[in-house]
Amino acid sequence: MKTNRVLSVILVVAVAATLASCEKIADNSAAVQSGTWSGGVFTNKWSNISFELPEGFNRLTDAEYYERTGDNAAQKAYNSGDGFNVAAGNVCDFWIISEELRTAFILVYENTDFDENGYLDAMMSNYEQTPGAAELSGTAAATIAGEQYLAATVFFPESGAYTQLYLRKTDAAMVCLYANYQASDAAADAVAAFVKSITPAKG
């Protein structure tokens, strides 16, 4: 089915984007905690992110991701024990998708010694190993739930997909919020609305 194939491309882009070939820092990641879902509302006090599942979007489990893409990185994205093991690399807190909009939102925490700009540079360097694979459209400062992020837009010419990336470095990990979508006005509007809908989770 064409929709699933395109969505699979978008999801693979999301996972690939987290593999920034970063050197791992010492394990100070004990503070990183996974978020929770309750009645369609996601809350993570550690990353200070809370939102209501947008209309038309569904939560995707790692098993469902694997079924769609065949990418076993999804099986490694979640820690099967209690809490997260960010020291091992990166972990995913959620991914939600809209089949109709061909859009996915993913929240990843990665153990890295880079700051936001260094992380983005490393990610783009990975893409540049394949000429024409990705184009950085621009960067800007962004505020989400009262926190300061580096925002970047990356275009993938071969698939026609975009990644809107938001990065915030903490002492324990890099907070990486990805909005991956196939270009359309409706998808772009959904991305803007989702980011705007995120509220602080800290009490």
Q: Which two tokens stand for residue 69?
A: 């893409």
Mention every residue, 6+ apart, whose C-beta is less than 8 A from residue 160. Answer: 182, 183
Domain layout of the chain by residue ranges: 2-197
Any idea which residue has 């190993």 for tokens?
Answer: 129
CB atoms within 10 A of CB 69: 19
Q: How is residue 24 annotated by DSSP? A: P
Q: Which two tokens stand for residue 79?
A: 């820690």
Return the closest-CA partner of residue 69 out of 10, 130, 2: 10
Backbone angles phi, psi at 202, to 5 degrees: -75, 130
Which helix (H) or strand (E) element contains residue 104? strand 103-110
Burial class of residue 111, CB neighbours in 10 A (0-12, 13-18, 19+) = buried
Q: Which fold has domain 2-197?
A: Protein Transport Mog1p; Chain A (3.40.1000)
What are the beta bridge partners of residue 148?
Answer: 143
User: Is 0.85 topped by the overall pTM?
Assistant: no
Question: What tens digit of pLDDT does each residue of 189-203 get?
Answer: 999 999 999 999 976
Asked if residue 136 lies in contact with residue 123, where contact means CB atoms within 8 angstroms, the answer is: no
Return the closest-CA partner of residue 137 out of 159, 115, 149, 120: 120
Positions of the chain with pLDDT lower than 70, given as ranges: 1-31, 62, 65-66, 68-89, 131-132, 203
Asked if residue 119 lies in contact with residue 32, where contact means CB atoms within 8 angstroms, the answer is: no
Cα separation of 89 and 197, whole Å? Answer: 29
Residues in the chain: 203
